[in-house]
Amino acid sequence: MGRRALVALALVVAGVVAITPFALGYIVGYTDGMGPPRTLIHSWLAAVHLAPAERELPAAAGPSPDIDALFRPFWEAWDYVHRDFFDDQAIDPTTLSRGATRGLVGSLEDPYSVYLDPVHREITEAELRGAFDGIGVQVELVEDRLRIVSPLEDSPGGRADLRPGDIITHVDGRELKGMALAESIRLIRGPRGSPVTLAVEREGRPPFNVSLVREEIRVSSVRAEVRADGIAYVRIVSFTANVSDELRRALDRLAEPPSGETRAWVLDLRGNPGGYLDGAVAVASQFMDDGVVLVEQRRGGEREEIRTQGRVRVGSGPMAILVDKGTASAAEIVAAALRDNGRATLVGEQTFGKGSVQTVRSLSDGGAIRLTVARWLSPNGEPIQGVGLSPQIAVGSVAGADLALEQAIEYVNQQPARATRDGSVSEDDRLSHDEQADSSTAESERSDALVGMLDGYERASMGGPGLA
């Protein structure tokens, strides 16, 4: 088979891969090696493996397209580029191929369906795992320059006195100006124990170099504390692969002396861009009894309820959830679940409104395509996509003051009893920490049986600044 035939076959396969997740129906977060999807359209999978002359589409799809005719304009353009483009040194087949794949997925006109080249995929997956090898600084692109947003506590970057606002101009002598964020992060990251030298510009002093040794950077997603008034404050910044375990450990620490009894809860999801959907289900399960966490709406309109995993770990004291315009995706799932089940009241601003679910499919170049495969609704059937969640207590942002937190604390202090799912009020039956632990133990066997069914839900990109 000639070169052109091989590339054409690869492009056809890429096209089929792009369509396959939709034809498969809902396979939220199904990733390589995690077992077979629940529903398979075998004719589509078979089409991937057929030779071009044998490839057939399902009868329901209508007449089979003329593959040669469809791809003829592409090959005409390919030939014109190689034959006529002035700067022949700028022609890179890999770049052209990845650009074609990016255009294929981009033609779906879905902002959440994208092609991830190998570098982008590596970075997003590492951040979702909550651990990577690097220097521990959050960075962003500002006017084509790499600026430090903040160093992480007790990281090589933090110990080297890198500061917010510093500009990293070079990494090991390589200039970063004009470089994509993902590529810059890739250069800064590297195997733990390896050295890296940064050239840095800081306002008020001449440029200088900083030499560091990379370490494993673990990003904590959960922070929790009990205030003197008995209100537990829990902050979740993202839904990484470890968020459920982190929350469990944080709640266990709250149960230890001298914390004492927790009488109310404030869950802070502001600025949380989402993450793994199974993490959202597991987190919601630690705050509420058996109930619906979300409703999946698949291709064709089919709906399925996803319920808690039976891992409730906290008492039933009053609860407020802080949300804002940066609360998105998996964070919105948790907020909607606890609100619709009568467990919590939302305080703050309208949320982002990201109500779709993506799956990631590996490609042979080491990259992947991320495709929207479902929409999710709140337990009450409320659509979230493009709309978001409206807080029951609206509080705007004011510089220098956290009015939303103040309002949330005021709210829970005014609630001597909790609202049940039907809107009535029950006696204050909040549990002590010892009772919470007993409840968690009693539920463990049932929750372990359910957790396997929920593995694999994911959102592949965290968005915003990156970690290096």
Active centre residues (catalytic) = 329, 340, 354
Please tell me what DSSP assigns to residue 256.
Answer: S
8 Å CB contact between 134 and 168: no
Q: Name, in order, each residue with C-beta under 8 angstroms of 255's C-beta and a sequence gap of 6 or more.
A: 433, 434, 436, 437
Whether the CB-CB separation of 364 and 14 falls below 8 Å is answered with no
The pairing of strands 195-202 and 205-213 is: antiparallel
**How far, in Å, CA of 15 to CA of 23, rounded?**
13
Q: How far apart are CA 356 and CA 376, in angstroms?
A: 6
Nearest Cα residue to 257 out of 278, 221, 285, 226: 226
- Read off the DSSP letter of residue 387: T
User: Six-digit token pair at 62?
Assistant: 């209508």
Length of the chain: 468
358 closest CA partner among 375, 371, 376: 371
C-alpha 46/C-alpha 33 separation (Å) is: 19
> Any idea what DSSP says for residue 366?
S
**In sequence order, what DSSP letters do the residues of 30-50 get, joined into one string?**
--TTS---S---HHHHHHHHS
- Per-residue tokens: 205: 């002093």
Distance CA 431, CA 123 (A): 42
Residue 205's CB is within 10 A of a number of other CB atoms, namely: 8
Judge if the upstream peptide bond of residue 258 is cis by omega within 30 degrees of 0: yes
What's the DSSP call for residue 129? Answer: H
Q: Which secondary structure element, helix H or strand E, spans residue 453, and what is its range?
A: helix 433-454
CA distances from 114 to 105, 359, 371 (A): 6, 11, 7
Q: Give me the sign of the Cα torsion angle 433, 435, 439, 444.
A: positive
Q: Where are the alpha helices (DSSP H) in 239-319?
A: 243-254, 277-287
Contact 326, 236 (CB under 8 A): no
H or E stretch including 75? helix 67-84
- Evaluate whether 314 touches 435 at the Cβ level (below 8 Å): no
Which residues contact residue 396 at a Cβ distance below 8 angstroms, ignoring those fewer than 6 apart?
A: 349, 403
